[in-house]
Amino acid sequence: MSSHKLINIIKRLSAYIGLSLIAVVSLFPLYWTVATSLKQKGHIFIIPPEWIPSPVSFEGYINLFRMIPFWHNFFNTVLVCVVVVIGQLLFNSMGAYAFARLHFPGRDQLFLLYLASMMIPTQVTMIPLFILIRTFGWINTYWALIMPPLLFSAYGTFLMRQFFMTIPDDLTDAARLDGAGDFRIFFSIMLPLVHPALATFGVFAFVYFWNDFIWPLVAINSEKMKVLTTAIATLATGGYFTDWASLMAGATLSIIPLLILFFVAQRAFVEGIVMSGLKG
């Protein structure tokens, strides 16, 4: 075996070992969450720690369903995430198409101003937004959870605009010669060509709103309207009395939909990440 091939093998082996270590470190919190959810109360904080639950106990899951209306909170979370993500994909892609393909006075300046809004911390706008939804009478309603994030995502508009700008102008010019308007071009030509970007942003947005905690905590105080993050947080009473097995059981169950989403959209998601890195 030549020295060149040996060096390549060593480099590959080193890369695999390094990536494996990173994967183990990244997945360990998930493993510990699942393992803790399957432990009995007296086995959670023992020293030395119990790496594998013995005996396996489902008491945490049983208590979880007794302590909070888990499936109702789960439905609230799914409903809010699906509606918000679909709305953001539609409105942000339409805005991105306008910034990328339409020509009007002040377009670039307006886009820069729109991007500058990403620099404003969420905490700054939270109180005015709360006052606004209270004026509309939306406290403890789905409107409070859906409407504020539905129409606005500067990041999504920026991401979609970058993809739209990579599409050759010849396609839209040919469509206009055939008599197609902007809506026909957008829905029939543009959207099918940028499906990797839609999948990428859709996954990012779904994960973000699934894990969102601060805004649902501010806008909702009714038990039946809570989403999973705020409902599970009520289990953390603090100190010795916290049912850690139930808390970890809730966290485990809340992770499962995100894992399913990633595996279903994995191919388009990875393709979108690669294309955004090469063309963005």
b or e along 141-152 (b: 16 or more beta carbons within 10 Å of the residue's beta carbon)?
Answer: beebbbbbbbee
Q: What is the pLDDT of residues 186-234, one digit of tens each?
A: 888 888 888 888 888 888 899 999 999 999 999 998 888 999 999 998 8
In a domain, 170, yes or no: yes
Q: Do the domain assignments include residue 43?
A: no
- Residue 236 CB-half CA count within 13 A: 10
Q: Is residue 181 part of a domain?
A: yes
- Is 45 part of a structural domain of the chain? no
Q: What pLDDT was estimated at residue 203?
A: 87
pLDDT band at residue 39 using 50, 70 and 90 as cut-offs: confident
> Would residue 133 count as lying in a domain?
yes
CA count, 13 A, side-chain hemisphere, 195: 9
Q: CATH no. for residue 126? A: 1.10.3720.10
Greater confidence (44 vs 254) lies with 254
227-238 confidence digits (pLDDT tens): 999 999 888 765
132 in any annotated domain: yes
Which 8-state DSSP code applies to residue 15?
H
Does a structural domain hold residue 6? no
Residue 138 lies in a domain: yes
Residue 266 has pLDDT above 50, yes or no: yes
pTM for the full predicted model: 0.82
pLDDT of residue 74 exceeding 90, the answer is yes
SS3 220: coil
Rounded Cα–Cα distance for residues 181 and 93 (Å): 16
Nearest in space to 220 (alpha carbons), one of 212, 230, 228: 230
pLDDT at residue 76 greater than cutoff 70: yes
Domain membership of residue 215 as a residue range:
59-279
Count of domains for the chain: 1
